[in-house]
Structure formats: structure tokens, C-alpha cells
């Protein structure tokens, strides 16, 4: 596809369950970023990948959050033992390389933890 | 941590009027970007201004950057109802010890613009 895609678009889960969110970046983009946006707020940086490695994990809010990227392409963000405060829209973006001009964003996954 | 702070938080204008949104940030930057978001979902890149630039235009958009004041403004001229959206500034921080871009963007909380027909 031409743009960044994310799945699922919406996810409702019960507190304590694990969830996996998926991001397909634009083909050829080496850098991939995860952000989250709580209701009415700006975007909070979570983690970024350059290729398959994640040199900066400083934004992950707790050890319940982890992410991986395989083959320099698809990335999954996993949240274990979800809490209600994890409810947010999780946005993925990609760019040609770290620090390149523009980040292209996916439509996001809206996560609701009941 | 949040780098940018936009003001106003909300702005309501009539179609045809100009809309000005401001952004302030805290650290040295490589560049500053403005994004638009409709209905709380995906963001669309509008314009990028580099730290050595002072003004940039793109269609009805005009962006200024004052690095001495660590501030930027986005002007939308002749607004249309379709411009109704949230607008965010985002900074690409410059890492002194790396000598280059930090990579990830740091976003402000955004300005919610409403353009009434």
C-alpha cells in the first residue's frame, strides 16, 4: 500500500489482558516510530526503530510495554496486563531514515481498556 | 516530556478570516514541523521549517520561526470550513553529543481550530 497501515483500528479489552498492535510502515522506510495520544492531548513518544533495532526505548511508560520490529518492516507494540490508563490512540509513523524530513503517520489504533 | 506548547488551545473563526497559531519550545532544534489532525486520528504533515530558516510558505500556509525566542507561528490565510482540525507543532531536537537529529518528534498539545461557514 501507499501509506502506513495499522491494525486493528479499534481494540476493546478487559483490564489485565495483553494486547498486540501492529504497524506496517511505508516500504523502504528504515525508521519507525510509535506514539500514543490520550484524549485531547498531544502525542507522546514511545519508541523508535532504526531498521530492526530500537536505540531509544526511553519513552516506554512501563515495563508492561514492549515493541519489536522484524525484517526492517512490520512492527508490533505489545502491552501486557493492560490498565485503564493505557486507553489511548496508538499512532505509528515511518520515515525514510532517522531525522529525515517528514514522518508519515498511520490512522492509529484506538485502544479502550475496560 | 512535552516540548512544544501551542496557543491558543482553541480558536474559532469565520470562513475567510486568517487563523494564527503559536508554538513555543524549550531545547535546541534541528527543525520544527506543523501537522494537522482530523477527528483524533492520523496526522498529516503540513510544513517543515529548519532551524536556519525564518519563514516559509506553502499555499495558504505561512510559518515563521524565531530561534532566539524558541517560538514559531502558523498562519492560515483565507480559512475554509475544511480547515477545521487540530494543529500540532512538533520539534525534531538537535542532540549536541550526537551532532544531529534526535529522530523522534516531540509534540505540543495542539490548537483546535474551528472555521464556521
**A45 and B104 in contact by Cβ < 8 A?**
yes
Q: Would you tell me how many other CB atoms lie within 10 Å of the CB of residue B116?
A: 11
Residue A101 has what DSSP assignment?
S
Q: Are B55 and B63 in contact (CB under 8 A)?
A: yes
Query: CA-CA distances (angstroms) from residue A114 to A10, A39, B64?
Result: 13, 15, 43
Kindly give the pairing relationship between strand B10-14 and strand B111-116: parallel
B99: nearest CA partner in chain A: A99
As a whole number of angstroms, the distance between CA A97 and CA A30 comes to 5
Read off the pLDDT of residues A29-79 as tens digits, 9 standing for 90 and up: 999 999 999 887 788 989 989 888 887 777 899 999 999 998 889 999 999
User: Three cell numbers at B111?
Assistant: 490548537
Read off the pLDDT of residues B49-67 as tens digits, 9 standing for 90 and up: 999 999 999 999 999 999 9
**pLDDT at site B2:** 46
Chain B neighbors of A35, CB-CB under 8 A? 107
Chain A neighbors of B100, CB-CB under 8 A? 99
Q: Are A79 and A34 in contact (CB under 8 A)?
A: no
Higher pLDDT, residue A28 or A98: A28
Residue of B56, B67, B61 lying closest to B94 (CA atoms): B67
Q: Are A86 and A62 in contact (CB under 8 A)?
A: no
- Rounded to 10 degrees, what is the CA torsion of B37, B32, B49, A54? -90
In sequence order, the 6+-apart residues with CB closer than 8 A to the CB of B98 are none
Half-sphere exposure of residue A108, counting CA atoms within 13 Å on the CB side?
21
Residue B83 has what DSSP assignment?
G
**B42 and A98 in contact by Cβ < 8 A?**
no
**pLDDT at site B1:** 43
Higher pLDDT, residue A86 or B105: A86
Picking from B41, B104, B109, the nearest residue to A48 by CB comes out as B104
Which residues, listed in sequence order, are joined to residue A105 by a DSSP beta bridge?
A93
Chain B residues near any Cβ of chain A (below 8 Å): 2, 4, 30-31, 33, 35, 40-45, 48, 88, 90, 92, 100-110
**B100 and A99 in contact by Cβ < 8 A?**
yes
Amino acid at each position: 500500500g501507499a501509506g502506513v497501515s495499522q491494525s486493528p483500528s479499534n481494540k476493546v479489552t478487559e483490564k489485565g489482558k495483553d494486547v498486540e498492535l501492529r504497524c506496517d510502515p511505508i516500504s523502504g522506510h528504515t525508521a519507525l516510530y510509535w506514539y500514543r495520544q490520550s484524549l485531547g492531548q498531544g502525542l507522546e513518544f514511545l519508541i523508535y526503530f532504526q531498521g530492526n533495532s530500537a536505540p531509544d526505548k526511553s519513552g516506554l511508560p512501563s515495563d508492561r510495554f514492549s515493541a519489536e520490529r522484524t525484517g526492517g518492516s512490520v512492527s508490533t507494540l505489545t502491552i501486557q496486563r493492560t490498565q485503564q490508563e493505557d486507553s489511548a490512540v496508538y499512532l505509528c509513523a515511518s520515515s525514510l531514515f532517522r531525522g529525515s524530513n517528514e514522518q508519515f503517520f498511520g490512522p492509529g489504533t484506538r485502544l479502550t481498556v475496560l | 516530556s512535552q516540548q512544544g506548547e501551542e496557543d491558543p488551545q482553541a480558536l474559532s473563526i469565520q470562513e475567510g478570516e486568517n487563523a494564527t497559531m503559536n508554538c513555543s519550545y524549550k531545547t535546541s532544534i534541528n527543525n520544527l514541523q506543523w501537522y494537522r489532525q482530523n477527528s483524533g486520528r492520523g496526522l498529516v504533515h503540513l510544513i517543515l521549517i529548519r532551524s536556519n530558516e525564518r519563514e516559509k510558505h506553502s499555499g495558504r500556509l505561512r510559518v515563521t520561526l524565531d530561534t532566539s525566542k524558541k517560538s514559531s507561528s502558523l498562519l492560515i490565510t483565507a480559512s475554509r470550513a475544511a480547515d477545521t482540525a487540530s494543529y500540532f507543532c512538533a520539534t525534531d531536537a538537535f542532540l549536541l553529543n550526537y551532532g544531529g537529529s534526535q529522530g523522534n518528534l516531540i509534540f505540543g498539545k495542539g490548537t483546535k481550530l474551528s472555521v464556521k461557514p
